[in-house]
Amino acid sequence: MKPKSSKKKARATLLGLGFDHKDGHTRITRGKNFQLVGGSQETHERMQEKAIKINEELKKRGKALEEVGRDEFVEICEKT
């Protein structure tokens, strides 16, 4: 038996926060590597769309969020 490694695998999470809701609804969307909270319906939908597109681009590149560096992440965000 191999001893369990005490090192944990690095994980990354996208966090989206919307502050423009005035309708009293609390909107929360969770995904494999993202959490979106708040915002008006329009803002929350835009955050959802962006998170989905980022994940699609990561999948095309064959990478997980924690495997991309800052510059590549910025490039992905600008592209989507």
Give residue limits of the domains in the chain.
14-79
| pLDDT surpassing 70 at residue 15 | yes
Separation between Cα atoms, residue 4 and residue 58, nearest integer Å: 30
Strand 14-18 and strand 34-38: the pairing is parallel
In the predicted model, what is the mean pLDDT of residues 3-29?
Answer: 84
pLDDT score of 4: 62
Read off the pLDDT of residues 21-43 as tens digits, 9 standing for 90 and up: 888 889 999 999 999 999 999 99
pTM metric for this prediction: 0.81
Q: List CB contacts of 11: < 8 A, sequence separation 6 or more.
A: 33, 66
